[in-house]
Structure 1
Amino acid sequence: MVSYDVRLDGITKRFDDVVAVDDVSLDIEAGKFLTLLGPSGCGKTTLLRCIDGFETPTSGDVFIRGERVNDIPPFERDTSMVFQSYALFPHMTVGENISFGLEMQGFPDRDQATDGGVATNGGFGAAFKRLVSRTGSEEIDARVAEALELVELPDYQERKVSELSGGQQQRVALARALITQPTVLLLDEPLGALDLKLRKNMQVELKNLQKELDTTFVYVTHDQEEALTMSDQIAVMNDGHLEQLGSATEIYEEPETEFVADFIGETNLLRGSYTETPDGAVVECNGLSFRVPHEPDADGEVSFAVRPEKIRLGKDARGLDNVFEADVTDEIYKGNLGKFVVDLPNGQRLTVDMQITDRSKYFSTGQNVAVGWSADNAVVLTR
């Protein structure tokens, strides 16, 4: 039986006259890595903050492990947040930063723990003072050491935050969030401040860590490659709406809307009139007929998408369902890959990616070449 750590039921969030999130319903399965993906201003961070409690929905309900949490403050929810800015305390050591969440939860310190290990909490101020004075229980010390091992920063407890690189600070922020063992870990573009190489390395490490812990991760990003690399499921958002929910393969190979097809990776979008013929479905576009897969919901004007890597040039195009003569108007040599812009006879412009296995078969600007693709490699879009 499938269980869900997070359920969002009709979440809408308004800021005065601006609707940041518009009637979003979403179930997040326990132990999965879900990414909220979309352009800036699409509502993904606002939705994340509704889960954590930093924002209260204007309407709709948030459930964590079946409990409605709309009226529960952030510090009482079974969640932790990793921010893009990391939000580390500069005057504290690494160990003090990581243990902060445990102190806030009332873990016993060396001076105040009872024989039964129950903290005499004393509230936020008392906990903060204990942390600044670097007191703490053996249990906290052990948990901090374990968290640092988990993020591959052993023996960093006494380091100052200012002595750490950006990647190391990101790991400390992650350890601080994980040490409280939340049901749901929320991550708001945590890799955005890292350089490209480190960001790619951290993508793999985050996914491996999520699998090891079996903790539900909800991750926000505008980076399509990042989402495709790490996610079990991707929720694509646009203008406050949920456009599509699916696996990385489903989102990339079977987009349901023009927005998803265009936003995820690179694609060629063509528009025309959809009809059924004895030989299969076709789309008529500016005097050319393109064979496409049968789409039960298609009627009249539609779009269809073809990824650049699905299109073939030259001899490789012969015998495919859609074959046309085209002129190469631009080309970019990228080592192992050639990127070509070709114009069809009806003026439609396509982008084509070709793996370069033989330099002698490379094409140049001005050449007339055959261009083609299989009907099954097109996706008909009705929305």
Structure 2
Amino acid sequence: MSQYDVQLSNITKRFGDVVAVDDLSLEIEQGEFLTLLGPSGCGKTTTLRCIAGFETPTEGDVHIRDQRVNTVPPFERDTSMVFQSYALFPHMTVGENVAFGLERQGLPDSHATDGGTVTRSGGLREALGGLIDRHGREEIDARVANVLELVEMPGYEDRAISELSGGQQQRVALARAIVTEPAVLLLDEPLGALDLKLRKSMQVELKNLQEDLGVTFVYVTHDQEEALTMSDQIAVMNDGQIEQLGTATEIYEQPETEFVADFIGETNLVRGSYRETDDSAVIATDGLEFAVSRDTEATDADDASFAIRPEKIRLGADAQGQDNEFQGEVVDEIYKGNLGKFVVRLENGHQLTVDMQIRDQGVYRSTGETIRVGWSRENAVVLTR
């Protein structure tokens, strides 16, 4: 068996003249939490729907655990899906909602058991499979009870959906999806309807649940912080293609394109002419030269750029001795308590956004102040377009 739970090979999906997904290939390892991240219209949800079977690729192949599933309907694929709206049945109780997939799927004749105790470690089948030998309704009820305990909602079987909070409804949707023991769980912006505080809490809970279950998660979001918080791998999408695939650290610290650098977090982009020096390289623009590390991809000397994150730039005495050191003027500032956000205009007119941690009383910068700014060449990432 392949080490991959999902393989997309040269997937293209067209809706008339619109190309939603454009020759996309992707391999998702067993037990991985992979996030498809990008702006609205980039193709991430269409890609997820191709995996789920709600869309059929115009070209290319979808494999789930070595099975080509292009023409296999959604209910026959080894996947489950959690929607942004949760899609719970309001006329059913919590228990009936969770049991729905099992009843539609049908159950094996028996489950081997060790007493039915739920644990917060081990695989999904171990967590749900520890049941007394049962058949039919009794077995369904036992599995529903086990999975509700797994999502920290024990004893909620008889509750009405209307009696639940948003976070509880989200847990019920998760329980309904995982109770069928899928190879792959697909999640389409499932936290989008929650308030900010609950969303942040559920991010941690989702990641912990995924690690406990060992199930492959494919998660769709446009929220960069959400992706950075939860993912083992992030596929940043743009115009139906993957711009970059990597870990959260790789995506943030070493973006490969201007789109990725600009979309993930906040950054300063500087364009100019690239040339190599004896020991490194520079990008020159409007009378200033910025020291950067050498980059084998920067082949077009007149059309280069680099990105520098606001928190990587130093101000005042901290800027002295850096590879890049310039004089500038503070033209705007925002006080955030523990953080100061400044816009500094360099002598050539270029403006940089700088974040400064406010560690000591009375240490702050004001609009109109002349100040030194600086950063290391290693923190300036040379980009492709």
The C-alpha deviation readout for 1:326-372, integer Å capped at 9, x for no partner, is 00001111111110000001111100001001132210000000000
> What's the secondary structure of 1:90's corresponding residue?
coil
The equivalent of 2:118 in structure 1 is none
Amino acid at match of 2:342: F
Seen in structure 2, the aligned counterparts of structure 1 residues 156 and 255 have a Cα distance that, compared at 3 Å, is: same
The equivalent of 1:275 in structure 2 is 275
The equivalent of 2:66 in structure 1 is 66
> What's the secondary structure of 1:35's corresponding residue?
strand
- Tell me how far 1:2 sits from its aligned partner: 7.6
The equivalent of 1:113 in structure 2 is none
The C-alpha deviation readout for 1:159-207, integer Å capped at 9, x for no partner, is 0001111111000000000000100000000000000000000000000
Q: 1:381 aligns with which of 363, 380, 383?
A: 383
The C-alpha deviation readout for 1:251-283, integer Å capped at 9, x for no partner, is 000000000000000000000000011142000
Identify unmatched segments of 5+ residues in structure 1: 109-115, 119-134
- In structure 2, C-alpha distance between the alignment counterparts of 1:185 and 1:106, rounded to whole Å: 19
- In structure 2, C-alpha distance between the alignment counterparts of 1:283 and 1:197, rounded to whole Å: 42
Identify unmatched segments of 5+ residues in structure 2: 112-134
- In structure 1, C-alpha distance between the alignment counterparts of 2:160 and 2:286, rounded to whole Å: 65
- Tell me how far 1:117 sits from its aligned partner: 5.2
- In structure 1, C-alpha distance between the alignment counterparts of 2:193 and 2:136, rounded to whole Å: 32
- For residues 55-204 of structure 1, the aligned pairs below 5 Å read 55-107=55-107, 137-204=137-204
- For residues 224-243 of structure 1, the aligned pairs below 5 Å read 224-243=224-243
Paired residues in the alignment total 360
- In structure 1, C-alpha distance between the alignment counterparts of 2:146 and 2:384, rounded to whole Å: 51
Amino acid at match of 1:314: G
Amino acid at match of 1:62: V
The equivalent of 1:29 in structure 2 is 29
Equivalent residues of 2:37, 2:223 under 8 A apart: yes
The equivalent of 1:367 in structure 2 is 369
Q: 1:341 aligns with which of 322, 340, 343?
A: 343
Amino acid at match of 2:376: S
TM, length-normalised to structure 2: 0.92
Amino acid at match of 1:357: R
The equivalent of 1:49 in structure 2 is 49
Amino acid at match of 1:218: V
- In structure 2, C-alpha distance between the alignment counterparts of 1:2 and 1:105, rounded to whole Å: 25
Amino acid at match of 1:151: V
TM, length-normalised to structure 1: 0.92
The C-alpha deviation readout for 1:63-110, integer Å capped at 9, x for no partner, is 0011100010000000000000000000000000000000001238xx
The equivalent of 1:317 in structure 2 is 319
- In structure 2, C-alpha distance between the alignment counterparts of 1:349 and 1:61, rounded to whole Å: 47
Identical pairs, percent? 75
- In structure 2, C-alpha distance between the alignment counterparts of 1:228 and 1:302, rounded to whole Å: 27
The ranges of structure 1 where at least 4 consecutive aligned residues each deviate by more than 6 angstroms after the TM superposition are none
- In structure 2, C-alpha distance between the alignment counterparts of 1:368 and 1:335, rounded to whole Å: 22
- In structure 1, C-alpha distance between the alignment counterparts of 2:20 and 2:136, rounded to whole Å: 42
- In structure 2, C-alpha distance between the alignment counterparts of 1:99 and 1:240, rounded to whole Å: 36
- In structure 1, C-alpha distance between the alignment counterparts of 2:93 and 2:272, rounded to whole Å: 62
* Root mean square deviation of aligned Cα: 1.4
